[in-house]
Structure 1
Amino acid sequence: MLTKEYCITMARYNAWQNRGLRKILQEMPRAELTKDRGAFFGSIFATVNHLLWADTMWMSRFEGKPSPGGTTEESKAFQPTAAAWSGERFRMDGHILIWAEKVRALDLVSDLSWHSGLLGREVSKNMGDCVMHFFNHQTHHRGQVHAMLTQIGITPEPTDLFLMPESGPWL
């Protein structure tokens, strides 16, 4: 069973990793950011855009709020520029941290129901499983971005969870 502490740790890890990416991506030329590198979403920018869109989508489900709309394919263009992405990423990471600090044990064992555009139907799953997927999805796509950056000679911050600073700044 997932715990509130797990959610807080993973929210901190997410924010710490994205903080490093924000610095790197804001300094990269747009042509490098948008170059198709053969990854699932093509470019570095399309991948981080998809991840921000997906985080926004999952948080809307967790909180029972309106979704950001759009499809997985459209998610690649969720934000128009690295600067816009960086600002929204910063806000979303803060939002996720606040949510994690307020999540209740009961929330994590309850069922979550939503309409899946990907499946084209209503879905109901254990909230804890959905939260685990949420954090795993972040790590998966950041790993793709890390690999693409490494391939072009840019060294992002380490990704090992045990290297995360004990205290902020994560944002």
Structure 2
Amino acid sequence: MIDKSYVATMARYNAWQNSQLTDIVTHMDHEALELDRGAFFGSILGTLNHLLWGDRIWLNRFGADVDAPELPLAQSAALTPTVAAWGAERFQVDGRLTIWADGLHNLDLAGGLTWFSGSVKTKVTRPFAECVVHMFNHQTHHRGQVHAMLTAAGQSAPVSDLFIMNTQNGR
């Protein structure tokens, strides 16, 4: 399904996207970031928090050096109280995601992953590689929501085309 080079590329893409988002949201008013914009997780900050929450829980399940969030899914939008707190934690988690991805071997993607899902309230087993793809897809999905909310708020949303990643800032 996927190999370690895909995972490393997507980890770099994730960090690149989050860096661009950080550059934008750190210059916005706190009220603008917390304004309910009708998205599933309400606000820009709420959606960014949920995304960070999801990354932490998946990376913890994958055995990366990341603590699972203490808040349940229903409270994930409240993970951090400010964009500064979000940005600091986002930077740390992105670094750990990159380290985890760079240390991965193709064989690590084989087999299954079993965990108790709070979302469906049962034990789940899925192919490990599928879970990794899900994590990256989840990131892209919610960053797309943030992109739309930023545009609606009059902000310039970041460039999100994967092929452009290697042409900007030497990455």
* Count of residue pairs the alignment pairs up: 170
8 Å CA contact 2:56–2:67 kept in 1: the answer is: no
Classify the secondary structure of the residue corresponding to 1:125: strand
Q: Could you tell me how far apart the structure 2 residues matched to 1:166 and 1:27 are?
A: 25
Q: Could you tell me how far apart the structure 2 residues matched to 1:51 and 1:26 are?
A: 17
Matching residue of 1:86: 87
Q: Could you say if the C-alpha distance between residues 24 and 128 of structure 1 is closer, same or farther in structure 2, counting changes exceeding 3 Å?
A: same
Classify the secondary structure of the residue corresponding to 1:48: helix
Q: Could you tell me how far apart the structure 1 residues matched to 2:126 and 2:170 are?
A: 33
Matching residue of 2:119: 118
Output one character per residue of 1:35-88: Cα deviation in whole Å (capped at 9) or x when no partner: 000011110000000000110000000007752232212110101111010000
Is the aligned partner of 1:11 residue 2:21? Answer: no
Matching residue of 1:131: 132
Quick one: which amino acid aligns to residue 159 of structure 1? S
8 Å CA contact 1:146–1:156 kept in 2: the answer is: yes
Q: Could you tell me how far apart the structure 2 residues matched to 1:68 and 1:169 are?
A: 33
TM-score, scaled to structure 2: 0.94
8 Å CA contact 2:112–2:128 kept in 1: the answer is: yes
Output one character per residue of 1:83-135: Cα deviation in whole Å (capped at 9) or x when no partner: 01000000111111111101121221110011101111111110000000000
Is the aligned partner of 1:45 residue 2:45? Answer: yes
Matching residue of 2:54: 54
Q: Could you tell me how far apart the structure 2 residues matched to 1:169 and 1:88 are?
A: 24
Structure 2 unaligned regions, length at least 5: none
Q: Could you tell me how far apart the structure 2 residues matched to 1:18 and 1:3 are?
A: 23
TM-score, scaled to structure 1: 0.94
8 Å CA contact 1:34–1:44 kept in 2: the answer is: yes
After TM superposition, the runs of 4+ consecutive aligned structure 1 residues lying more than 3 A away are 166-170
- Identical counterparts, % of pairs: 49
Q: Provide the alpha-carbon RMSD of the alignment.
A: 1.5
Considering Cα pairs closer than 8 Å and 6+ residues apart, tell me whether 1 or 2 has the greater RCO. Answer: 1
Structure 1 unaligned regions, length at least 5: none
